[in-house]
Amino acid sequence: MSALLLAFDDEWPLAERLAAALGWPLQAVQRHRFPDGETRLRLPPRLPARVALLRGLQQPNAKLTELWLAAAGARELGAVQLALVSPYLAYMRQDIAFTPGEVVSQRHVGSLLAQAFECVITIDPHLHRVRSMDEVVPGRRGVALSAAPLLGAWIAAQVPGALLVAPDEEAEQWVASAARAQGLPYLVAHKQRLGDHEVRVSLPHADVAGRAAVLLDDVASTGRTLVDAAKALRARGAASVDVAVTHGLFVGDALASLQAAGVREVWSSDSVPHASNCVSVAPLLARALADWAEG
């Protein structure tokens, strides 16, 4: 069965790498934005039965509307099997109602995606109380990949013998994976969240003096957790502190704050387009899409 990759213009470099790795044709979803904020989409007039749509959901609100329209349009134009490739999948952190009346965004966004796509593929999703992506998209195929081994290999090449540091307990899964793959030591810090822009990070009783430390996490948004962890490492005598993340969102002054905290280098995967991109997730995504296409 023939297959096609569709992508939006703002993710074209990753789309080209992914299409090349798959050996699939690539075509664009064309957009026109009207002055009132509405969007007109244009897809290729004829689509094969199997179509994958690449769309990262950083800054997600407008993109979710475009995604829903693109999926519905693709069905009308011939697509029978649709896969969403969303390297960064938004609205995953809110998986329970922490206070009465809160809307559980993960449940409802997942349900929306399950209505539109047979398969959803993502990388290092922000999941805590669910066991797999299959639970996020009920009745569909959910695939969660990890860029941690890629970042671990990059770190090992750039900083031989680095001490990997998880800035909080949630990041331990990614740090442990990267450390095992490269034979590197690691430690896990403890985080206390005081608000959206305020955290307190403490290090375990471990000798970091004179060590080259690399903080590894799934996502950097405001960067406050990484900033506080970097300050703690510097205060304990770390020779250098670098940062590696899968999803480099870097909202507001995040990068400047990291540099002010003594961070030397900041690296990220190309799951989110950013100047810090150093490794590509295209091969990971290509293998997952190939498995779906053969299924």
Q: What is the pLDDT of residue 98?
A: 84
- Tell me the average confidence (pLDDT) per consecutive run of 10 residues in the chain, 295 residues long: 91 98 97 95 97 97 95 98 97 86 93 97 88 90 96 98 94 93 94 64 85 97 93 95 97 96 98 97 97 90
Instruction: Indicate if 148-270 has the same CATH topology as 3-146+280-294.
Output: yes
Whether this prediction's pTM lies above 0.85 is answered by yes
Tell me the fold of 148-270. Answer: Rossmann fold (3.40.50)
Two tokens at 71? Answer: 């999926």
C-alpha span between 77 and 183 (Å, rounded): 50
Q: Which of 63, 191, 211, 274 is catalytic?
A: 191
Q: What is the pLDDT of residue 1?
A: 53
C-alpha span between 182 and 205 (Å, rounded): 23
Query: Strand runs (DSSP E) across 55-169, as ranges?
Result: 81-86, 119-123, 141-145, 163-166
The architecture in CATH of the region 3-146+280-294 reads 3-Layer(aba) Sandwich (3.40)
Burial of 26 (0-12, 13-18, 19+ CB in 10 A): middle
Work out whether strand 240-248 and strand 81-86 pair parallel, antiparallel, or are unpaired. Answer: unpaired
C-alpha span between 242 and 157 (Å, rounded): 13
Q: How far is CA 26 from the centre of its chain?
A: 22
Q: What is the pLDDT of residue 199?
A: 65
**CB within 8 Å of 260: residues ≥ 6 apart:** 227
Two tokens at 235? Answer: 């205060």
Parse the chain into domains and list their residue ranges: 3-146+280-294, 148-270
Active site residue 63: no
> Is-contact 219 247, C-beta < 8 A?
yes
Q: What is the pLDDT of residue 170?
A: 87
What are φ and ψ of residue 22, in 5° steps? -85, -30
